[in-house]
Chain A
Amino acid sequence: MSLPNTKIDRRSILTKGLTKTQHFDRERRVGDWRILDPKHSKLGAALMKGCQQFGITEGCSVLYLGASHGYTPSYVSDMVGAKGTVYCVEFAPQVARDLVFLCEDRENMIPVVADANQPDTYSDLITGVDVLFQDVSQRNQVEIFLKNLTLYVKPRGFGMLAVKARSIDVLKKPQDIFKEIRKEFESSDDFVIVDYRELQPFEKDHAFFVVKKK
């Protein structure tokens, strides 16, 4: 299952631009296609590392936790196309400002300024989603992921988690942290692990999990 509106070759990832505006300084284009820089996006890094299955389809809805300035979310919004929806959750107002401007340009993106650790606070803004993407640098990032996965993802929906080992525990070895998370995920009855990658050389001490809800 490949990603919609996306071209991938060995060197670069391109998504079909939904709008003509250039949103970011580092954003480059080839005609209508926008280049996704894997060094600035964990989704891009996972793609370059050979992840195949993401569960993102044309017109699906995505819950994106840790949207930040909206660099990766803007590419996800390209992928799901005009009929899809990307809910972008970001807590820090400093970066959420950029996100709101971005969402104004892109009609399929919805900004939510809320704490992903408290999913109940935005339950009246978000419906069930097909895909959950999480990239937050919090100590309890796994807990946040599981909370949102149970609450918002439809059955047979996908969840993607970019783990930053350094924000979980600086003293432990990243490998050990990834192993623990893997074990925790494998023991769950609600979902199965579909894919797992470590993101070197694009990101240091990061891993990427793709899970599918039963």
Chain B
Amino acid sequence: MQKLLAYIVFRRRETSFFALLWKRETNIVCYVKKQRFLPRIFRQMETFRAWFINTLSTPVEMPKLEHVTGTVEYQEGGLPKALQSLNERLPELKKQIRIASMKRAKETISESASADDVIIDMVGTISSLDKAAHGLVKRLRDGYALYDPELEHSIKDHEMFANKVLERPERSKGMGGNLAQEDIDALLDLAATVQSLYAQRERIKEYLDKRMKDIAPNTTYVAGAMIGAQLIALAKSLRRLAMMPAGTVQLLGAETALFRHLRNRNARPPKHGIIFNHPLLQKAPFKRRGKVATTLADQISIAARVDFFKGEFVGDTLRKKVEEVAK
């Protein structure tokens, strides 16, 4: 009595099927070619893990099955008996297959988690925070203007305004109305929330600065931490950013404009996507922006590749090239 696993081999583009018995201990594949069993075997395909190979002469790879299927006792009756015994164990085998698939799925998911994903998440968080803070600060200004319009009017910067409100300044004599202490407290509470949103944003930026330097030092040196992180977010991972052509990097974040141009040739093509925010590009005169953008994207692309394949630091030489063009 030998322990065996049963397989069905399926010849692509051919109607014939072969039952295949795999001798586990010796790693020898032996198969039986019996056409008359085929319809039955086929009906039982659910029973087995189907193993697909192009031709029988192709060597069958050793499946990773230690943890997947059970074994069948090989008996004198040969194939039919082995199949029968497998068939009896069908429900149990199915359960085992499910457990094994589940395990593998969980392993794949757990392996896929990387620092990239947290960075991408945080880039999204920053823009959500901006949106939330902007909405709330408008409410705060509306409310506080009832109490002290002069102060509200004199401070344009939102964050400074929230900080000032929290210092509880004395009310300037002017258009402001008399408000009950409860009303003012409610406004102060809102100001505290707004202030904490801005503080959180700062903390995330610090985190991005630090992590981007660890993960992608070259990209960070050339593009800056924030733009580098946004590029990774748009590309979905550092790997994909590294694999992208530089021309794509140049237009990441300008998809709307790009497709507008592709649909309608009267619309001019975009010169830059998210890299538009880069200080070197901001400083460049309008006429030279296209050239600077191309060079910048080229160098970022090289930097991302160096980072992904963990090369030496070349950020300074790459950045110098952009600076020369931007002069």
Q: Which residues of A contact B (CB under 8 A)?
A: 61, 85, 87, 93, 96-97, 99-100, 103-104, 107, 110-114, 120, 123-128, 150-152, 154-155, 170-171, 190
When chains A and B are docked, how far (Å) is the Cα of A173 from the Cα of B263? 11
Contact B262 A123, beta carbon cutoff 8 Å: no
Contact B52 A151, beta carbon cutoff 8 Å: yes
Contact B263 A127, beta carbon cutoff 8 Å: no
CB distance from A213 to the nearest CB of B (A): 11
CB distance from B266 to the nearest CB of A (A): 15
Contact B106 A112, beta carbon cutoff 8 Å: no
26 of the cross-chain contacts (CB-CB < 8 Å) are A61-B46, A85-B46, A93-B108, A93-B112, A96-B105, A96-B109, A100-B102, A107-B98, A112-B101, A112-B104, A113-B104, A113-B105, A123-B52, A125-B100, A126-B50, A127-B46, A127-B47, A127-B48, A127-B49, A128-B8, A151-B52, A152-B50, A154-B45, A170-B259, A170-B263, A190-B13
CB distance from B59 to the nearest CB of A (A): 14
- Taking CB as reference atom, which chain B residue is nearest A125? B101
Chain B at the A interface: SS class: helix
Is B161 on the interface with A (CB-CB < 8 A)?
Answer: no
When chains A and B are docked, how far (Å) is the Cα of A113 from the Cα of B104? 8
When chains A and B are docked, how far (Å) is the Cα of A124 from the Cα of B64? 8
Contact of A110 among B68, B102, B263 (CB under 8 A): B102
Q: Which residues of B contact A (CB under 8 A)?
A: 8, 10, 12-13, 15, 42, 45-52, 63-65, 68, 94, 97-98, 100-102, 104-106, 108-109, 112-113, 259, 262-263
When chains A and B are docked, how far (Å) is the Cα of A97 from the Cα of B102? 11
When chains A and B are docked, how far (Å) is the Cα of A174 from the Cα of B112? 35
- Chain B residues positioned under 8 Å from A96 (CB to CB): 105, 108-109
Contact of B106 among A61, A100, A155 (CB under 8 A): A100
Contact B98 A110, beta carbon cutoff 8 Å: yes
- Chain A residues positioned under 8 Å from B48 (CB to CB): 127
Contact B101 A111, beta carbon cutoff 8 Å: yes
Contact B105 A128, beta carbon cutoff 8 Å: no
When chains A and B are docked, how far (Å) is the Cα of A113 from the Cα of B13? 27
Contact of B101 among A110, A151, A170, A171 (CB under 8 A): A110
Contact B94 A85, beta carbon cutoff 8 Å: yes
Instruction: In the A-B complex, list the 3 residue pairs whose CB atoms are closest, starting with the nearest.
Output: A93-B112, A113-B108, A111-B105
- Chain A residues positioned under 8 Å from B15 (CB to CB): 155
When chains A and B are docked, how far (Å) is the Cα of A27 from the Cα of B50? 35
Contact B263 A171, beta carbon cutoff 8 Å: yes
CB distance from A89 to the nearest CB of B (A): 10
Contact B109 A124, beta carbon cutoff 8 Å: no
- Chain A residues positioned under 8 Å from B45 (CB to CB): 127-128, 154
Contact A125 B97, beta carbon cutoff 8 Å: yes
When chains A and B are docked, how far (Å) is the Cα of A104 from the Cα of B99? 10
- Taking CB as reference atom, which chain A residue is nearest B13? A150
- Chain A residues positioned under 8 Å from B46 (CB to CB): 61, 85, 127-128
CB distance from A192 to the nearest CB of B (A): 16
- Chain B residues positioned under 8 Å from A151 (CB to CB): 12, 52
Of B10, B46, B259, B262, the most chain A CB neighbours within 10 A belong to B46
- Taking CB as reference atom, which chain A residue is nearest B10? A128
- Chain A residues positioned under 8 Å from B52 (CB to CB): 120, 123, 151
When chains A and B are docked, how far (Å) is the Cα of A123 from the Cα of B102? 15
- Taking CB as reference atom, which chain A residue is nearest B113? A93
Contact B109 A97, beta carbon cutoff 8 Å: yes
- Taking CB as reference atom, which chain B residue is nearest A119? B52
When chains A and B are docked, how far (Å) is the Cα of A11 from the Cα of B1? 61
Knowing A61-B46, A96-B109, A113-B109, say if A124 contacts B51 (CB, 8 Å): yes
